[in-house]
Amino acid sequence: MSKVIAPEHVAGFKLWLDKIGYYRKDLPDGGSSFKNNRAQPRYVLVSGELSLSRGGKQLYKEYKQHLAAED
């Protein structure tokens, strides 16, 4: 895991993943795991240290584009 998510984006990114159909499980370290059987990537992890899994990096890039489009 690598690439640290910006702290100000964590809550919004998690909410966005919920809204696009990912099922969330909160972890004891403050992170969350997400799963979606119909979309790619199927599994996303946001760790308590704010690092992202490979799928998380891909979706975080989309999320930042989504934020930029709102401006």
CATH of the domain at 25: 3.30.310
Q: What is the pLDDT along the chain (71 residues), one digit of tens a residue?
A: 666 899 999 999 999 999 999 999 999 999 999 999 988 899 999 999 999 999 999 999 999 998 998 66
For residue 26, the model assigns a pLDDT of 96
Domain containing residue 12: 2-70
For residue 1, the model assigns a pLDDT of 61
Domains identified in the chain, total number: 1
For residue 41, the model assigns a pLDDT of 92
CB neighbour burial string for 2-41, b if at least 16 within 10 angstroms, e if fewer: eeebeeeeeeebbebbeeeebeeeeeeeebbbbebeeeeb
